[in-house]
Every structure is written in structure tokens, then in C-alpha cells.
Amino acid sequence: MDIIKTYRLIPIEEGKHYIKLLVPKGYDVFSVEEIRFITGKSVEVLEVEEEEFSKELQKRLAQEEVFIETAVEEDREQKDILLEEEKSPAVSFVNSTLIKATTLSASDIHIEPYEDVSFVRFRLDGRLHDYMSIPLSLHESVISRIKVLANLDVAERRVPQDGKIRVRIGRRDLDIRVSIVPTTFGERVVLRLLDRSGSMLTLEELGLSLQDLEKVKRLAKKPYGIVLATGPTGAGKSTTLYAMILHVKSPEKNIITIEDPPEYQVKGVSQIQVNPKVGLTFASGLRAILRQDPDIIMVGEVRDSETAQIAVHAALTGHLVLSTLHTNDAPSAITRLSDLGIEPFLIASSLEGVLAQRLVRKVCEHCKEPYKPTKEELSQLGLEGSYTFYRGRGCDMCMGTGYRGRTGIYEVLELSDELKQLIIKTQDANEIRKKAKELGFRTMYEDGLEKVIKGITTPEELMRAVKVEE
């Protein structure tokens, strides 16, 4: 890779694990990040005035001899698709876009054609952001390039197509799910980026408070019963359940999951993917799992009455069942189970705990700054007195958003004997919440407010995720 020509930066020293670059004042931080990703080496920079840098650049370009081989080049069997020699505009565009998205930790890339231009957008921390636009003349060849990589039909432009790409960027292995649909002005593409080399989060890394962390650890170690994670799509429920599995996984435990589809690959855990076309649903799969002598069962989602009934039966016959529900908060999970036809005494007997969660964006550590909130802001949050909050100015590392990365805000409802007695009498979420708060239950809003005060997130993010409590 020719760093000088590609990035207009000058390598002045290179070791086995590092590269030193000469850079001009006001250099592009992302270019340095991309070099770090591709080479797998740490990057040091020496910043100089623009005039000095330009002189050195001209001298080096005249020599045209400076190249840095990437770490991947040593491994010829695992060829990095981003280092192919072919450099057509479409290939270069796809490569550079994938590198940039990986650098930014984007979860999705959207390529959307319109009447006179095609827009490229990245989903960062759950929000879509404009990245760049390309002429329609380039759009078709970019789509064709993506189809080739995903082994799709390049000639077919009338029907939706789905595929998968496996690619290596530096030291990172990515699975890319490809979805292509025809629109009025051309084919629209969404690429979902999944980092296979990234490790799963542990319970300690989820952002749980110490109090809630202890509760979740206790629930994960229950010998039997049901533990539910609730929240909207994309709230990180599966990540939480897998963190619980990692916490208790051992050779003595038989752990089986049924999901749609399995989101992580875990050694020592048997994973089943539902396939309704051949009759493998959550309910039928769960029945089959019960004949496999399991200790812990994870069900991707309790969607219907049949699955709920089997899950309760499994919990009452000595198995720990982990699953997800779509409810707004933890107490509402009891109401939802009742709506699915589970008798109140069975809910009380089988359910051990509910963890509700949302994801909020974290303040960017690279441009974080303190500020004093106004009285109106504090009043909106239900606070009085003097506080210091934090926000991001916006920088290259966060694409000007002021946020980088996400964390969870949680509420953990651990069912005590007192609460179980109440559930037999009423499944009203408000009554259960009221009693739980008397027993020390802390809501998602309270957890999020603590994270605002600590400078982890902002009031705007908290109010977007959960409504202000009265």
C-alpha cells in the first residue's frame, strides 16, 4: 500500500509493531486511523507546518519508492480483499467506504440512488448520518462490484437480492450482510457490518450499576426459572443474555440456544437457527431442546402463547430459561405473559427476574467538555441545585456528532416472595412497579439520570430513550 499517494501522509520510520508518520497541521485524523486498521500497527505522528510538509511530500513523490506492506500480506492464504491490485473507481470506492465505516465503527452502510445523485450514509450508534454523495454514473458499477463480492446475479436488477460477504480489513474479520432492492432510480443497497473478530461483552462491560450488576449475576446463577430481557428492537437484549451465558458457562453445563438468527458464535454453546419453512419454529425447537438434557436454554424471543407455555413448563421442570420480550419496562413483562395466556400462579412460580433496557449514545471522549445546565434543563430532569453535565463539541472522531459509542440504561426487577404473592393477585404493571419501588427497585430513568450526572451521556439522550418520570 502506497501511503504517500493514497493518504498524502509520509512514513518516516517503521518497526514491526509501529509506524511513524510525518503529518501537516490540521491533518485528517481518520486517515491515520485507517492506516492503523489496515496495517495492524500502532501509529505515531510528527506534526509539522504545511509548508515544511509540502516540501518533503514533493521530494518523496519524486522518488516514488516508499511503500509499506500490511501485516495481512504476510498471510497469503487469507487475502485481504481490500488490498487487491485492481483499482477501478468502483473497487476503490467500495474499499475506501468499507475502511471508513470500520474506522467509525458503523453498523450499516446505506447506498441510496435518487434522481440526480446517489447518497451514502452510515449508521453510527443507532443514528443514520450522511457520509458522501456519488454521481449516478458511478452508482451502477458500485452495485455490480458489491454483487460480485456477494456472489449475486449481476444482470438481475428487477427483484430484491440478499447475500453475504466475508472480508478482512487489517486485523479485523467482517461478515457483511448484503440487501439489494430495486427502486425508481436504481438499486438500493444496505450493508450490515458484523465484526467476527470482536469479542462479546461481559456483564461488567454492559454499563450496569454495581447494584444491578449483582442482581443480574444472581439471576444468571439461578438453577431454574425464567429470566427475561425486555426492550424494543436493537436495544441490546441478545447481547445482555449472551453476557449472562458467558458468566455461567462451564463444561459442567449443557447450554442450548434457539435464535433467529444466532447473533454470536460461542464455543461450548449449541446454537439452533429457526427455520419456519421446514417447521422449525421457536416452539417446536424448544420442545426438541427439552429432550437434549439441557441445563440452560436461551430462546431468541417469546412471540406467542405456545412458546410461552413451553418456556414456563421448562422452567418448572428444572431448567433455566433466558429469553426476550417486547415491552416498555420490566413490570410490563408480567402483564405481557398474562396476555399470552400464562396463569398468574404459573408466572409467579416460574419467573425469577426481568431486565429492561435501552441504548443511549455516550459523550465522545475526544471532544468532551463540561457545561452548567440551566434551571429549566434541571427542572425538566427533576433535579435541583448545582450540577456539571458534559457534552461533545463535535470532532473528526465522532463525525461532528459529539457522541461516540453506546451504553445501556437498565432496570432489573428481581422477583421476591412478596412480589410473587402480589403477581398472583394482580398483573397490573403499575401496581407491581409501585410495590417494587417500595422494595428498592430502581427504574431505567433513574439509572440514566445517574449516567448523565457522571458525564457518560447527555440529558437529550436520556429523554430520547425514556420518558421523564413524574
- Angle made by CA atoms 180, 102, 367, in degrees to the nearest 5: 125
- 15-65 confidence digits (pLDDT tens): 878 888 888 887 777 777 778 777 778 888 888 887 788 778 767 765 543
The beta strand positions in 364-420, using DSSP E, are 368-371, 389-392, 403-414
- 231-289 confidence digits (pLDDT tens): 988 888 999 999 999 999 999 999 999 998 787 788 899 999 999 889 999 999 999 99
Which are the contacts of 353, defined by CB distance < 8 A and separation ≥ 6? 215, 216, 219, 222, 225, 227, 228, 412, 413, 414, 415
pTM for the predicted model, two decimal places: 0.74
Please, what sign has the CA dihedral across residues 2, 111, 400, 446? negative
Distances from the Cα of 14 to the Cαs of 17, 45, 55, in angstroms? 8, 12, 21
- 325-335 confidence digits (pLDDT tens): 999 999 999 99
The pairing of strands 296-299 and 320-325 is parallel
| Region label for 314, one of left (φ > 0), alpha (ψ between -120 and 50) or beta (otherwise) | alpha
Distances from the Cα of 154 to the Cαs of 95, 187, 254, in angstroms? 19, 11, 45
Going from the N-terminus, what domains does the chain have, and what CATH number goes with each?
3-64 (3.30.300), 89-195 (3.30.450.90), 203-467 (3.40.50.300)
Kindly state the percentage of the chain with pLDDT values over 70. 90
Nearest to 38 by CA among 68, 12, 11: 68
pLDDT at 348 over 90: yes
- 394-423 confidence digits (pLDDT tens): 887 788 889 998 999 999 999 999 999 999
Question: Quick check: bond before 261 cis, omega within 30?
Answer: yes
- Per-residue pLDDT band for 87 (boundaries 50, 70, 90) equals low
